[in-house]
């Protein structure tokens, strides 16, 4: 009887449920295995404070900008990894697909090669090439039924071979196109930075307010408004705070500002979050990852979803590869960095994306990559070797997955 | 009167073979609007095969299928869905990670230009559940993984019902449920019949059958044994039919226990 009233009182507004209070909601979430972003935000704060106190050059405006640039490549790849993991699949090829993306732009812009195309055109071409690689690999997974681990492991070797083959003689290709190099090295002027922060905050406000305002006839309770206001305020503080710090960066009397990679990450984050949460495609990705058989019975074209996800993975890998190459203005035999693939997957997993499929958010990739980049940067500025960085990153990954596994077991238990 | 005298679904002399195995032999079957028809029989009696012929999973080798008095050919699940036939499978076709609303609209999301209409789906889910008096679900925004077996089965049934379906087929809907949860689902099945839907319930559990069904069709070794009115039969009679029933002759509409003999 009372349960019927609960169903009736359900606020008919897009967004999460609003039970008794924030605290009880958090307790309920933790009890059901939905840890959200709380552990990772707490962890990140702890890491920042720790290095702020122990590493001398860590807590500076310049280093703040450095972390953003250093995390950008990994973040882009991790965005794609989120979609692949949501399906319960894996893509091991993305490291070298990123390399193919970088090689493609480098080749296309190469002066004196007869096809020195502008970077503005070369970059979309590279992204399309890598999406096609995703289409090929995804089709083999979805239509033939070869496990994604095997298909993408083959891709790992094949694309590595292609890169080595092309760069064997020159050793490296220098990227001179300014548009390509801007993706890692452009800084907004202070004023432009403020405008970016303002427009990001404004857009976000629009996105979260429109569903509330168009909930015509249905009452939106005060708590929902309060929560929305808190979200907007939180994002505003993050955006303006980032710009404020970046605008203080000065290197050799040259004033830095908000780096372009920060904006690129936000754009891709927004686009992919929209895709995952607000479109039928995104809904079907979660459904296939949760129960592929149920999705198939519900009439969802499971193969099509799988193929598109691998295309997204290829496209984001290309984006990441371009930024990483632009950072060093070249593509060399050592490209991409050996840690790129595993760091990208680790970023998504640390960000709360389940390896078992069906659970996680796009923003998790950004948060996870931020943790990895901060740890690497902090240990580096504190004078530790690469070996230490690997060990610490590995332990954080292990800790994050352990947390996920425990949370999952709690969820199963509370379900029965 | 005329409306209820024409069965919603009628099968005449349906035959199905798998290689050398004769799964169904000249089986007759019918279900009317507002009726819960139980389909019972021992393992291998052909219950699942019969239902799969109706759901479009298998194509019948011979015989006629009439829906609303007209001959139909069901070649796939989509044909069945177009006629208004929905099946709730034993193993719960729900995505655990999605919430109730998302599961209810899985594969048929309300959208404008591929962008989800979340408030619309939420509102209509609440209305559907209310109309079925499914009152035990704490929140339709919770992942179904957090629901009990009975609640999950209720969601699966509600999902099948909400698409203006005329015939709902339930395959062992209480197989994995406890006592209280079973009652909850059985009450829901009865309500479906009261709301004018035709319901076919497959069950091994005669308690469930006598709790819900208006009539009971018994199959044995792929043949008709009889159709019983719930009110005029006993569990012993049905058990006898299941275990040792003599097949009735092939042709003609199955006679109800009341009219036969």
DSSP string, A296-361: HHTT--HHHHHHHHHHHHHHHHHHHHHHHHHHTTEEETTPSPTTHHHHHHHHHHHTT--TTSS---
A297/B93 Cβ within 8 A = yes
pLDDT at residue A6, as a whole number:
35
Q: Which phi-psi region, left, alpha or beta, contains residue B10 (left: φ > 0; alpha: ψ -120 to 50)?
A: beta
B258 in contact with chain A, both atoms CB, cutoff 8 A: no
Domain of residue B30, residue span: 2-94+165-244
The closest of B56, B55, B74 to B64, measured between CA atoms, is: B74
A88 lies within 8 A of chain B by CB: no
Best interface-test mutation with B: which of A294, A352, A404 has the largest number of B CBs within 10 A? Answer: A294
Q: What is the mean pLDDT of residues B110-118?
A: 88
List helix spans (H) across chain B.
2-5, 47-55, 77-83, 100-104, 118-131, 149-161, 179-194, 206-212, 235-244
Distances (CA, A) of A385 to A44, A48, A335, A373, B155: 21, 19, 20, 15, 55
pLDDT, mean over chain B: 85
Query: In what helix (H) or strand (E) does residue A7 lie, and over which residues does it extend?
Result: helix A2-9
Largest Cα span, chain A: 79
A280 → closest Cβ in B114, B126, B146: B114
The predicted pLDDT at position A16 comes to 41
Report, as an integer, the average pLDDT of A5-34: 48
State phi, psi for B193 to the nearest 5 degrees: -65, -45
Q: What's the longest Cα–Cα distance across chain B?
A: 61
A133: CB partners within 8 A, 6+ apart: A93, A97, A100, A155, A159, A314
CA dist B234 and B218 (Å) reads 13
- Quick one: pLDDT at residue A136? 97
B9-29: average pLDDT: 90
CB distance A12–B122 less than 8 Å? yes
B-chain CB neighbours of A412 within 8 Å are 145
B6 within a domain of the structure (yes/no)? yes
Determine the topology of domain A34-186+259-415 in CATH: ABC transporter involved in vitamin B12 uptake, BtuC (1.10.3470)
b/e code B182-193 from CB counts within 10 Å (16+ = b) = bebbbebbbbbb
Please choose, from the candidates B189, B86, B182, B102, the residue with its C-alpha nearest in 3D space to the C-alpha of residue B142.
B102
Whether B252 shows a pLDDT value over 60: the answer reads no
Give the residue among B38, B41, B37, B15 at the shortest CA–CA distance from B244.
Answer: B41
**A145 shares contact with chain B (CB less than 8 Å):** no
Alpha carbons A168 and A107: distance in angstroms, whole number: 14
Span of A321-330, A369-378, A383-392, B129-138 with lowest mean pLDDT: B129-138
Question: Looking at the DSSP assignment, which residues form a beta bridge with residue B199?
Answer: B36, B168
Contact A377, A63 (CB under 8 A): yes
Q: Is A407 on the interface with B (CB under 8 A)?
A: no
Please report the pLDDT score of residue A99 as a whole number: 96
What is d(CA B128, CA B165) in angstroms, rounded to the nearest whole number? 13
Nearest residue to A359 (alpha-carbon basis) of A276, A235, A294, A264: A276
Least trusted range by pLDDT, from A35-39, A81-85, A98-102, A371-375: A35-39
Flag whether residue A300 sits within 8 Å of chain B, measured between CB atoms: yes
pTM listed for this prediction:
0.84
For residue A279, the tally of other CB atoms under 10 A from its CB is: 17
DSSP A187: B
Judge whether B139 and B125 are in contact, CB under 8 Å: no
Which among A126, A163, A155, A121 is positioned nearest to A320, based on CA atoms?
A126
**Measuring CA to CA, how many Å separate A31 from each of A34, A36, A104, A172, A386?**
7, 12, 48, 53, 38
Q: Chain A interface, mutation test: which of B86, B90, B111, B119, most A Cβ atoms within 10 Å?
A: B119
B186 close contact with A: CB closer than 8 A: no
Asked whether residue A415 carries a pLDDT value surpassing 70, the answer given is: no
Task: Say whether B228 sits in a helix, a strand or coil.
Answer: strand
Residue B39 lies in a domain: yes
**Domains of chain A by residue range:** 34-186+259-415
Give how far Cα B80 sits from Cα of A23, A63, B52, B193, B199, Å: 47, 63, 10, 19, 14
Task: Look at B139 and A218 and tell me if their CB atoms are within 8 Å.
Answer: no
End-to-end CA distance of chain A: 22
* Res. B261: pLDDT tops 50: no
Give the contacts of B123 (CB within 8 A, at least 6 positions apart).
Answer: A12, A218
Which of the 8 DSSP states describes residue B249?
Answer: P
Residue B17: inside a domain, yes or no?
Answer: yes
Q: Out of B109, B114, B140, whose CB is closest to A7?
A: B140
**pLDDT tens for residues A280-334?**
999 999 999 999 988 988 888 999 999 999 999 999 999 999 999 999 999 999 8
Which of A16-30, A257-271, B113-127 has the least mean pLDDT? A16-30
Residue B186, in any domain of the structure: yes
Query: In terms of C-beta density within 10 A (0-12 exposed, 13-18 middle, 19 or more buried), how is residue B159 classed?
Result: buried
A110: three-class secondary structure by DSSP: coil
| In the predicted structure, residue A60 carries a pLDDT above the cut 70 | yes
DSSP β-bridge partners for residue A19: none
Q: Which two tokens stand for residue A38?
A: 């709380």
Q: Does A16 touch chain B (CB under 8 A)?
A: yes
List chain B residues with CB under 8 Å of A279. 111, 114-116
CA-based nearest distance A83→chain B, Å: 15
- Report the pLDDT value the prediction gives residue B91, as an integer from 0 to 100: 66
Residue A245's DSSP bridge partners are none
Nearest CA to A295 out of B177, B142, A304, B81 is that of A304
B5 — contact with chain A (CB < 8 Å)?
no
CA distance A290 to chain B (A): 5
Q: pLDDT at residue B187 above 70? A: yes
- Among residues A359, A15, A8, A299, which one has the least CA distance to residue B118? A15
B88 touches chain A (CB under 8 A): no
- CA B209 vs CA A258, A268, B173, B203: distances in Å: 70, 55, 11, 7
Test mutation, A34, A290, A360, chain B, max B CBs within 10 A: A290
State the best of B103, B106, B123, B171 to mutate against chain A, taking most chain A CBs within 10 Å. Answer: B106
Q: CA of B66 to nearest chain A CA: how many angstroms apart?
A: 24
Q: B131 — contact with chain A (CB < 8 Å)?
A: no
State residue A7's pLDDT score: 37
Per-residue pLDDT at A188: 93
Across A181-192, average pLDDT: 92
Is residue A414 scored above 60 in pLDDT? no
- Residue A254: its pLDDT value, please? 81
Residue B197 lies in a domain: yes
Work out how many CB contacts closer than 8 A connect A with B: 121
Best mutation target among B77, B143, B149, B169 (most A Cβ atoms within 10 Å) is B143
Angstrom distances, CA of residue B40 to CA of A340, B21, B169, B211 = 59, 20, 13, 14
Which H or E run contains A142? none
Burial of A71 (0-12, 13-18, 19+ CB in 10 A): buried
Q: A3 and B78 in contact by Cβ < 8 A?
A: no
Q: Does B78 touch chain A (CB under 8 A)?
A: yes
Å from A72 to nearest chain B CA? 29
Mean pLDDT within A187-209: 91
Grouping H, G, I as helix, E, B as strand and the rest as coil, residue A144 is helix
Quote the minimal CA–CA distance from B48 to chain A in Å. Answer: 17
Q: How many domains does chain B have?
A: 1
**CATH classification at residue B41:** 3.40.50.300
Nearest CA in chain A to B145: A415
Q: Test B119 with A295 for CB contact under 8 angstroms.
A: no
**Cα distance between residue B35 and residue A156, in whole Å:** 59
Q: Which of B96, B106, B149 sits opposite A298 (nearest CB)?
A: B106
A23 — pLDDT class (breaks 50, 70, 90): low
The lowest-confidence range among A253-262, A309-318, B65-74, B251-260 is B251-260
Which residue in B has a C-alpha nearest to residue A287's C-alpha? B95
For residue A218, the chain B residues in CB contact (below 8 A) are 119, 123
Q: For residue B190, is it within any domain? A: yes
Highest-confidence segment of A2-6, A126-130, A288-292, B55-59:
A126-130
- Cα-flanking dihedrals φ and ψ of residue A307, to 5°? -65, -45
CA distance B120 to B108: 13
């Amino acid at each position: 009887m009372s349960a019927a009233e609960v169903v009736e009182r359900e606020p008919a507004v897009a967004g999460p449920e609003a039970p008794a209070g924030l605290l009880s909601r958090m307790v309920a979430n933790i009890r059901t295995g939905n840890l959200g972003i709380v552990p990772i935000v707490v962890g990140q704060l702890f890491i920042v404070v720790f290095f702020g106190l122990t590493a001398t050059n860590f807590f500076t405006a310049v280093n703040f900008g450095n972390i953003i640039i250093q995390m950008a490549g990994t973040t882009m790849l991790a965005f794609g990894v989120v979609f692949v993991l949501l399906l319960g699949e894996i893509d091991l090829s993305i490291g070298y697909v990123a390399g193919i993306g970088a090689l493609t732009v480098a080749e296309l812009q190469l002066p004196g090669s007869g096809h020195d195309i502008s970077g503005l055109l070369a970059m979309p071409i590279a992204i399309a090439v890598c999406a096609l690689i995703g289409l090929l690999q995804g089709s083999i997974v979805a239509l033939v039924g070869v496990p994604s681990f095997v298909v993408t492991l083959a891709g790992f070797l094949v694309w590595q071979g292609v890169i080595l083959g092309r760069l064997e003689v020159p050793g490296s290709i220098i990227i001179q196109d300014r548009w390509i190099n801007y993706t890692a090295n452009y800084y907004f002027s202070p004023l432009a930075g403020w405008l970016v922060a303002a427009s990001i905050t404004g857009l976000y406000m629009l996105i979260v307010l429109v569903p509330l305002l168009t909930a015509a006839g249905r009452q939106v309770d005060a708590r929902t408004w309060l929560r929305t206001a808190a979200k907007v305020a939180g994002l505003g503080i993050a955006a303006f705070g980032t710009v404020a710090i970046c605008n203080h960066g000065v290197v050799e009397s040259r004033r830095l500002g908000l780096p372009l990679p920060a904006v690129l990450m936000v754009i891709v984050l927004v686009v992919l979050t929209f895709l995952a949460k607000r479109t039928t495609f995104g809904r079907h990705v979660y459904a296939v990852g949760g129960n592929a058989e149920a999705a198939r019975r519900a009439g969802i074209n499971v193969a099509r979803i799988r193929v598109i996800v691998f295309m997204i993975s290829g496209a984001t890998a290309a984006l990441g590869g371009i930024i990483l190459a632009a950072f060093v203005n070249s593509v060399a035999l050592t490209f991409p960095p050996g840690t790129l693939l595993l760091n990208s997957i680790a970023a998504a997993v640390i960000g709360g994306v389940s390896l078992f499929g069906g659970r996680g958010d796009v923003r998790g990739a950004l948060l996870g990559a931020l943790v990895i980049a901060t740890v690497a940067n902090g240990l580096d500025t504190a004078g530790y070797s690469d070996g230490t960085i690997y060990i610490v990153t590995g332990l954080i990954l292990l800790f994050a997955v352990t947390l996920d596994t425990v949370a999952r077991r709690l969820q199963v238990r509370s379900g029965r | 009167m005329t409306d209820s005298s024409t069965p919603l679904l009628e099968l005449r002399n349906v035959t199905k073979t798998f290689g050398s195995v004769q799964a169904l032999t000249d089986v007759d079957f019918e279900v009317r609007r507002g009726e819960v028809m139980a389909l019972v029989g021992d393992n291998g009696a052909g219950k699942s095969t019969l239902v799969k012929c109706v759901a479009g999973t298998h194509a019948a080798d011979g015989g006629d299928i009439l829906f609303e008095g007209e001959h139909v050919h069901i070649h796939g699940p989509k044909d069945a869905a177009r006629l208004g036939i929905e099946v709730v499978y034993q193993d719960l076709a729900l995505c655990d990670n999605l919430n109730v609303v998302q599961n209810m609209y899985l594969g048929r999301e309300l959208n404008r230009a591929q962008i989800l209409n979340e408030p619309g789906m939420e509102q209509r889910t609440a209305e559907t559940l209310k109309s079925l008096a499914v009152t035990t679900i704490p929140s339709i925004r919770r992942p179904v993984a957090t629901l009990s077996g009975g609640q999950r089965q209720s969601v699966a049934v509600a999902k099948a019902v909400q698409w203006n379906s005329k015939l709902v087929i339930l395959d062992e809907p209480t197989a994995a449920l406890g006592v209280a949860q079973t009652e909850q689902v059985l009450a829901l099945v009865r309500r479906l019949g009261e709301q004018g839907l035709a319901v076919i319930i497959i069950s091994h559990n005669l308690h469930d059958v006598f709790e819900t069904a208006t009539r009971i069709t018994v199959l044995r070794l792929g043949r008709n044994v009889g159709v019983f009115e719930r009110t005029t039969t006993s569990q012993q009679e049905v058990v006898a039919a299941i275990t040792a029933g003599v097949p009735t002759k092939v042709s003609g509409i199955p006679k109800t226990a009341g009219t036969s003999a």
